[in-house]
Structure 1
Amino acid sequence: MKRIPIVSTLIVLIAVGVMLRLGFWQLERLGEKEAMLARYEAAQATGGEVRWPEAPSTMQRALYHRSRLDCRAADTPTTLSGRSAKGEAGLAHVVTCIDAEGARRQVVLGWSRDPAAPAWSGGVVTGWIAPGPRLVADPPQAGLDANARPDPKDIPNNHLAYAVQWFFFAGVALVIYALALRKRLHERTPRQDGLQ
């Protein structure tokens, strides 16, 4: 009978170990994502206003809080597909807000079905800090309708599905290798067949 191939077995076991580690890592990320989403929902529920974070490292903690920007000027108007506060599909009107220090921030002025850029040259804007980052104006500006409020539930949380996939891949790899190994161990060489 043939012996178990050591190198092939080690390679398969290492690959399975890596897949299992990736599965457990996705479960860790699931817990982190759930905590982050709970933090975002709590921030939105308080409705308390925070300063616009200057450092990118502090932006994540500020998401879904209310904030304000003093836009001394506005340029590069553009539109993105968006939804109104009533759930209607249309366009979100976005401008680059330039503050007193010359920093450039993205501001979603409001929603409409009209793609034409509204006339808006700046001012104090209050609203919600959304991923991007951008400030979603609330109340809307430039005579536009209200955009849908940013919702943490829109952030995908598919880490559990990824974990299940990695565990499934590891299981499949073990089953396939076990079947191949079984076939190899049960095969006989021509010489052994001739002796029987």
Structure 2
Amino acid sequence: MTEPAPSVAPRSSGRRWPLIPTIFVLCAVAVMVALGVWQLQRKTEKEALIALYERNRAMSALVTYPELPPVPDAMLFRKSSVVCLEVVRWDQRGGTDRTGKSGIRMVADCRTGAEGPGVLVDVGIADDFTPPKWTGGTVQGTIVPGPEQPTLVDRLTGRAAPARAMLVADAPVAGLRASAVPSGADVPNNHLAYAVQWFIFAAAALTIYALAVRRRLQR
């Protein structure tokens, strides 16, 4: 009597769709898409902020200089004046004058009273690092973001201290050239590019994973 041939189980385990890796990839793609959408929202917010700054620049009325940080957006790029009682220290940084010529920007950290953080005043552009012979006085100019802004890491970790503003003098002190005044157009707005990058990363992840799964199922 001929014995029946043993049955062979179908080899389907290699053709099963990988569930856990698929869930992981889809979650990662969802995060990338969410980041792209968030960057588009930030783009709209930044455009509205730049428009506010440009309206502020067009106003000629003087506002009271903010005593303490943070400085409201409605006051940035507005005209103001301060009285520098004493220059506590000088901060020399690279900068340009209003003709586009490079030089050393002289920023005076001024005392304005017995207490308080004082005020930063950009009094002009020099050709070297020698501080000007200026000990203080009344300065009129434009309120701009100060040179010491918190880093992205500080903001994400919650360790960012409120940033001080700075007054760019309309008229430089003796021996210096007038510093270029920033505008709202100088505020970076790269959020559209960041959004496109996140969407490309999401599409690339889906494409690579689909090709990998297809190759596995065809083996």
Match of 1:119 in 2: 133
Match of 1:194 in 2: none
How much has 1:101 moved relative to structure 2? 4.1
Residue 64 of structure 2 aligns to a residue whose secondary structure is coil
Return the match for 2:193 from 158, 161, 169.
Answer: 161
Residue 105 of structure 2 aligns to a residue whose secondary structure is strand
State the TM-score, normalizing by the size of structure 2. 0.81
Given that residues 109 and 142 in structure 1 are in contact (C-alpha distance below 8 angstroms), is that contact kept between their aligned partners in structure 2?
A: no
- 1:176 and 2:212 aligned: no
Match of 1:89 in 2: 102
Gaps of 5+ in 2: 1-11, 147-164
Match of 1:107 in 2: 121
Superposed CA RMSD? 1.4
Mark the CA change 1:3 to 1:177 in structure 2 (over 3 Å): closer, same or farther: same
Rounded to whole Å, the distance in 2 between the matches of 1:47 and 1:101 is 30
99-108 vs 11-20, greater mean Cα deviation: 99-108
User: Percent same amino acid among aligned pairs?
Assistant: 44
Match of 1:30 in 2: 43
Mark the CA change 1:57 to 1:89 in structure 2 (over 3 Å): closer, same or farther: closer
Gaps of 5+ in 1: 188-196
- 1:41 and 2:73 aligned: no
Structure showing the higher helix proportion among its residues: 1
Question: Which contiguous aligned blocks of 4+ residues in structure 1 show a shift greater than 4 angstroms?
Answer: none
- The aligned length equals 187
Mark the CA change 1:83 to 1:156 in structure 2 (over 3 Å): closer, same or farther: same
Q: Deviations over 1:133-164 (max 9, x none)?
A: 21111122244221111222222110000000
Match of 2:155 in 1: none
Rounded to whole Å, the distance in 1 between the matches of 2:111 and 2:174 is 17
- 1:56 and 2:88 aligned: no
State the TM-score, normalizing by the size of structure 1. 0.90
